[in-house]
Amino acid sequence: MLIQDGRIEQIAAHGSLLVGDQHLTDLGDTVLLPGLVDTHVHVNEPGRTEWEGFATATRAAAAGGVTTVIDMPLNSVPPTTTVEGLDAKRKTAEGQAWVDLGFWGGAIPGNTGDLEPLHTAGVFGFKSFLAPSGVDEFPHVEQADLESALAEQARIGALAIIHAEDPAVLAAAPQQPGVHYRDFLASRPDDAETAAVARLLDTARRTGARVHILHVSSAAVLPLLRQAREDGVRVTAETCPHYLTLAAEEVPDGDTAFKCCPPIRDESNRDALWAALAAGEFIAVVSDHSPSTPDLKLLKEYGGSGDFAAAWGGIASLQLGLPAIWTEARRRGHTLSDVVRWMSSGPASLVGLTGTKGSIAVGNDADLVAFDPDGEFAVQAAALHHRNPVTPYAGRTLTGAVRTTWLRGRVVDVDGEPTGRQITRS
């Protein structure tokens, strides 16, 4: 492969000679992958930089083989619901990012008039919550707000990305605080997802909007998605490493590192998500990296109560998504090509970046990862580049190690030496 000016210039057969190369890199036995595209990351800066920030998030991304990060419109302050909010993010991110960055906007009650200016300013689409988001400055949309937001997005040609849990179903579910994971799981039932998805699909059908369901946790929504597609609704969906690799049965009491919304469900649900993934029903597997400080997680080792109901809901995994998925994918008979489709080319196509990101192709950005598919390592939360040392993967042994990451042809300065020899010819 010949890289010039940050782009892939030529791809040649093994052993053939490329003209014009001055600098050869031998990757040894590693596998070269296109850099991952993670379209679901909560960077939280400005405003909640103690939770995460552009410098820490993008450094973790680079170390994890993720070369493009699309940032969610919350939990930063201000949220990305106005052009001013977007400008604040861009200004703050300047000079801090180790990988390429993009931004989602937010559609909240009362900001329908902000969507077109944000769209023009370059956001990739608009996130809305159908149930409370967890932060006051990003309220969820009621049905009337959703109608107007989707109608406007259909008009301007924007992609609506939706957190689909239904607030009425959540309110009616048993609420039992405490350290038992099964009580938390009962408080966020499958029905909350299916009711919200059904309502969303109905609204999408009527408004003509293109919609994307974020972080599908319950396999019970899959038949609804299939039916909607058959009916011609423009709908895609994603799921996340934690729903595919963790299971409710193994969550220790009080270990709120595992808390996220919607929740990690049981093993049979996890198998059903894998079957759907294998069948091409998810366009992307993305992290939904949504960390907070250990005290807000109420973690017991930090003196917290371990109460699942009160702890911050969000999982930190940006640096670990690739090995977490590869570990489980390989066990289930999938290949690295499948993983690349789920975590690189799929998410790139979701956000319209196929011409520059998501594959090793002539003309694309030379965003590359030298990956050792057999490299094993034990996850130490404190050794990750995430700002806070909290992740449910702590202590797990994962297979698959990122050796070198390139962003537009440059080796990104991550920890760990490259395994390949670098030979400079001049």
Q: Applying CB under 5 A, which of residues 288, 328, 338, 365 lies at the interface with Zn ion? A: 288
Min. distance of Cβ 390 from Zn ion in angstroms?
16
Taking the least distance from each CB to Zn ion, the nearer of 316 and 360 is 316
Stretch that binds Zn ion, among 90-98, 190-198, 286-294, 352-360 (CB under 5 A): 286-294
Quick check: 259 and 308 in contact, CB under 8 A? yes
End-to-end CA distance of the chain: 18
Whether cis (ω within 30° of 0) applies to the bond prior to 46 is: yes
Taking the least distance from each CB to Zn ion, the nearer of 129 and 181 is 129
Min. distance of Cβ 246 from Zn ion in angstroms?
16
Binding mask 244-283 for Zn ion (x = CB under 5 A): ----------------------------------------
Stretch that binds Zn ion, among 43-51, 245-253, 287-295, 374-382 (CB under 5 A): 287-295
Helix/strand/coil (H/E/C) assignment for every residue in the chain? CEEECCEEEECCCCCCCCCCCCEEECCCCCEEEECEEEEEECCCCCCCCCCCCHHHHHHHHHHCCEEEEEECCCCCCCCCCCHHHHHHHHHHHCCCCCCEEEECEECCCCCHHHHHHHHHHCCCCEEEECCCCCCCCCCCCCHHHHHHHHHHHHHHCCEEEEECCCHHHHHHCCCCCCCCHHHHHHHCCHHHHHHHHHHHHHHHHHHCCEEEECCCCCHHHHHHHHHHHHCCCCEEEEECHHHHHCCHHHCCCCCHHHCCCCCCCCHHHHHHHHHHHHCCCCCEECCCECCCCCCCCCCHHHCCCCCCCCCCCCECCCCCHHHHHHHHHHHCCCCHHHHHHHHHHHHHHHCCCCCCCCCCCCCCECCEEEEEEEEEEECCHHHCCCCCCCCCCCCCEEEEEEEEEEECCEECCCCCCCCCCEEECC
Quick check: 200 and 164 in contact, CB under 8 A? yes
Min. distance of Cβ 279 from Zn ion in angstroms?
24
Number of residues in contact with Zn ion under rule CB under 5 A = 1
Min. distance of Cβ 424 from Zn ion in angstroms?
43
Stretch that binds Zn ion, among 14-22, 118-126, 288-296, 342-350 (CB under 5 A): 288-296
Min. distance of Cβ 80 from Zn ion in angstroms?
13
Min. distance of Cβ 30 from Zn ion in angstroms?
31
How distant, in Å, are the alpha carbons of 182, 199, 244, 261, 333 from that of 272?
Answer: 20, 23, 9, 19, 15
Taking the least distance from each CB to Zn ion, the nearer of 25 and 56 is 56
Min. distance of Cβ 363 from Zn ion in angstroms?
32
Taking the least distance from each CB to Zn ion, the nearer of 165 and 365 is 165
Min. distance of Cβ 19 from Zn ion in angstroms?
46
Taking the least distance from each CB to Zn ion, the nearer of 299 and 315 is 315
Stretch that binds Zn ion, among 15-23, 264-272, 284-292, 395-403 (CB under 5 A): 284-292
Question: Could you say which residues in the range 377-416 bind Zn ion, by CB under 5 A?
Answer: none
Min. distance of Cβ 238 from Zn ion in angstroms?
10
Taking the least distance from each CB to Zn ion, the nearer of 288 and 365 is 288
Min. distance of Cβ 109 from Zn ion in angstroms?
19
Min. distance of Cβ 314 from Zn ion in angstroms?
7
Taking the least distance from each CB to Zn ion, the nearer of 154 and 324 is 324
Question: Could you say which residues in the range 4-63 bind Zn ion, by CB under 5 A?
Answer: none
Taking the least distance from each CB to Zn ion, the nearer of 134 and 418 is 134
Taking the least distance from each CB to Zn ion, the nearer of 73 and 358 is 73
Taking the least distance from each CB to Zn ion, the nearer of 130 and 368 is 130
* Phi, psi angles (nearest 5°) of residue 212: -135, 125
Structure tokens at 74: 């919350």
Question: Could you say which residues in the range 153-212 bind Zn ion, by CB under 5 A?
Answer: none
User: Distance between CA atoms of 214 and 156, rounded to whole angstroms?
Assistant: 21
Taking the least distance from each CB to Zn ion, the nearer of 25 and 218 is 218
Quick check: 368 and 374 in contact, CB under 8 A? no
Stretch that binds Zn ion, among 216-224, 276-284, 285-293, 298-306 (CB under 5 A): 285-293
| Furthest C-alpha separation in the chain | 70
Residues that bind Zn ion (CB under 5 A): 288
